[in-house]
Chain A
Amino acid sequence: MTPPTESFYKVPYDLRPAKQIERRMLIDAFQRLSFAGFPIGEYQYTGMGSIYFVDFILFHKLLGIDKLLSVEISSKITKRLRFNKPFQRVDIQICPIGDVIPQLSRDRRHILWLDYDGLICSEFLRDLVLAGTYLSAGSILLVTVDVEPPEGNSPKEWRDYYAAEASAYLGKESKVEDFVKTSLVARNTGFIKRAIMQGLVGREAEFIPMFNFIYADGHNMLTIGGMIGTQQERRQLKASSLNDTSYFRSNLEIPPYAISVPRLTRKERLYLDGFMPCNEKWKPKEFELPPESVLAYREIYRFFPAYAELLL
């Protein structure tokens, strides 16, 4: 397993377009929740900010979240983490995220993003149990894991990895054929769901699914998200405009929302934007673009970041 902080050496966090689209969609969703009566600005955001703090900056600026906590496990770059803290409001704790979850105030609602870089492992699942145990009703839990096949070349080896790491959460799917490459997303979804439900045992609240994203800026990643809520939150969610969006997933049985980012030049994007949102059959007249790319762009153009060189 790669400790969360160390992946910052591998990936420039702020330049991952699919990830950024995911963040923008989450913000869109949270804004809709605000309109539906969830006081998102008063939520506490707890995440793993690394040294870039991208979600912290966005959530503070766009959602007005004032209480922000970044948790990092690596004590090797403590000064660097603190140096890069974007706002005074961001607290930093250096410890495993699992130590922090039981301490999250039960008098407050939370957005907790367990944004792991690695494959699901027993430690992540323990964190999920804790999240289910401790998050107050109305809180939002997001989990991101890598869903590439584990080490080894065969479904048998992959099954053995998951049987070792997630033995308690395998459910009915424990045969080798359940662990073929195309099934790994579904398997991971099951582990995540069951671990959260384990944490919710004996509580009135349940896990109400909201998000199920898959995307790849390199590795295939899966984000599952939802609200820890009672019947009241369920009703409130049902009445929200989240149901009108294409990325909303109110149950995890339907296929995940795939964030796919067509490769386009800046000029092409400006041109396409002029016709967005287009109808199903629209095709650009000025250049060739497969219809699936047009539709993919239509899905994401509102959330798609534009990157440019900036000479500071």
Chain B
Amino acid sequence: MADMANVHAYPRKQFFLEMFTRDISLEDCVLDLIDNSMDSLLRSRNIDIEAQVLGAAQGGQTRAAIAPAQIIVKYSESQFDISDNCGGISKKEAEDEVFCFGHSSKVPTGRLGVYGIGMKRAIFKIGNTIEVTSRTTESSFTVSIDVLKWSQKDTSLEDWTFPITKVEAGVPLSKAGTSITIKDLRPEVKVRMNDGTLDAALSNAIGHTYPAFLDSLVKVKINKVDVDRSDLPFGGSGDIKPGIDKFEEDGVKVTLLATLAPMDKRTQEIAGWYVLCNGRVVVLHDKSDLTGWGIGLPAFHSKYRGFVGVALFTSANPMLLPWNTSKRGLNREAVIYQKARNRMAGVSRPVITFLNEMYPSDLPERHVEREIASRVVQQDFRPLISAQSKTFEVIRPVSKKKTMRAQFDVDIADIERIRKKLRRPGMSASSIGRYTLDHYLKTECPE
């Protein structure tokens, strides 16, 4: 038998530095770093996503009753910082897991961090000199990375380490947290930081991505300015009961909600489906076939601008969730998602029918539906997550006719006499009819 040899299939550092940082925007990087902070928070405070973030708890357990933690993002032309008091990463986790490219264990320990690439991809994208310090109640450590130096040494797997440069004692839980400082920023990142739009873009991305976490669990500041939470435009009223469909399969809980948008937020832009994985918004107001429009639902049309759907996927193992690696999109081939998408169409059907009735093609717009829709106000969707599945319902008022038409012929001369008396020569005949009736009611029929 001939000598059998192996071919090399080593990872190359350049690949990680140059390739996989290309597929992600600077905003996504910051979101990835925030995901890490959130995961520390969930872990250190023992917070259950379903019970305390999404508020599905039964039996009196409420959303996290703790003072919100803080995540502070600061940047200038020379430096990027993100720091939190979310509980930190233990030295053991740092040594074995956090800095690896990809998770080694089968079940990730976090709920928002999935693939074990987010933090590395983010820091490599931002700059070349990186310092990560993390303090837990047990210990503290600092890892320093000089990316250029690190990338030059790439001959064996032994070169794939980062040095721990400092080890200290633990701190109280309120001070435990992680801070990352990045210097020697990449040129393209400097350009973004200087173009004057990044603050707003980051704030907008964070506000829309974490409505379930912001304020109740954590506050985020960007260059000293608080990020505003952007609640999902989920509507309800006394006349409107949102549709709910729930199922659980292969370790993933799926909750689908369909309703009308609140009146004051109703625009074509905000309409559509919102998809959340473990409480993090991954798809925002989608109106494409990704969420079933044109497949299980009709193609999106301006008359559906009142539609809002929320699809929640939760799992203890975030690998099972249908998000993609940037967590700002879906893996539409995921079987759980394909199944959910069909049921998203089902739970939406009665809402779509209602909106069709509101804007019928062959008739003037319907007043009953318009009135009902106008009373829809913003509502927190979270209490509905623990409710039973049910169909979207509209309670239409029993219409009782309260008016009738009074129409009759009169002598033109009589109309003229009244016009003259009232000194209003241009008054219409119908206004005179109204006026004389009101006059009689007032003078002869006191209430």
| Residues of chain A having any CB pair with chain B under 8 Å | 95-96, 98-99, 101-103, 122-123, 126, 129-130, 132-134, 168, 198-199, 201-203
Contacts of A134 in B (CB 8 A): 343, 346
- B338→A129 contact, CB < 8 A: no
Number of B residues contacting the other chain (C-beta, 8 Å)?
20
Contacts of A201 in B (CB 8 A): 335, 338-339, 342
- B335→A102 contact, CB < 8 A: no
- Stretch in contact with the other chain, from B26-34, B305-313, B347-355: B347-355
**Would you list 27 pairs from A and B whose C-beta atoms are within 8 A, ordered by A residue?**
A96-B349, A98-B353, A99-B349, A99-B353, A101-B349, A102-B347, A103-B391, A123-B298, A126-B296, A126-B297, A126-B345, A130-B345, A130-B346, A130-B349, A133-B342, A133-B345, A133-B346, A134-B343, A168-B294, A168-B295, A198-B295, A198-B296, A199-B296, A199-B342, A201-B338, A202-B249, A202-B335
Contacts of A122 in B (CB 8 A): 298
Interface status of B86 (Cβ within 8 A of chain A)? no
Least Cβ–Cβ distance between B387 and chain A, in angstroms: 16
Residues in B324-352 with C-beta less than 8 Å from chain A? 335-336, 338-339, 342-343, 345-347, 349-350
- B296→A130 contact, CB < 8 A: yes
Least Cβ–Cβ distance between B430 and chain A, in angstroms: 32
Beta-carbon nearest neighbor of A167 in chain B: B294
Beta-carbon nearest neighbor of B337 in chain A: A202
Residues in B232-274 with C-beta less than 8 Å from chain A? 245, 249
- B342→A129 contact, CB < 8 A: yes
Contacts of B391 in A (CB 8 A): 102-103
Contacts of A96 in B (CB 8 A): 349, 353
- A132→B342 contact, CB < 8 A: yes
| Residues of chain B having any CB pair with chain A under 8 Å | 245, 249, 294-298, 335-336, 338-339, 342-343, 345-347, 349-350, 353, 391
- B338→A126 contact, CB < 8 A: no
- Knowing A122-B298, A126-B297, A198-B295 are in contact, say whether A102-B339 is a contact too (CB < 8 A): no
Contacts of A199 in B (CB 8 A): 296, 342
Least Cβ–Cβ distance between B431 and chain A, in angstroms: 36
Least Cβ–Cβ distance between B17 and chain A, in angstroms: 38
Contacts of B295 in A (CB 8 A): 126, 129, 168, 198
Other than the known A98-B353, A103-B391, A202-B335, what 10 A-B pairs have Cβ atoms closer than 8 Å? A96-B349, A102-B346, A102-B347, A130-B342, A132-B342, A168-B294, A198-B296, A198-B342, A201-B339, A203-B339
Least Cβ–Cβ distance between A262 and chain B, in angstroms: 43
- A129→B353 contact, CB < 8 A: no
Contacts of A95 in B (CB 8 A): 350, 353
Contacts of B343 in A (CB 8 A): 102, 133-134
Contacts of B347 in A (CB 8 A): 102
A126 to B344, CA, bound (A): 12
A119 to B34, CA, bound (A): 53
Beta-carbon nearest neighbor of A200 in chain B: B342
- B353→A202 contact, CB < 8 A: no
Contacts of B338 in A (CB 8 A): 201-202
Least Cβ–Cβ distance between A125 and chain B, in angstroms: 9
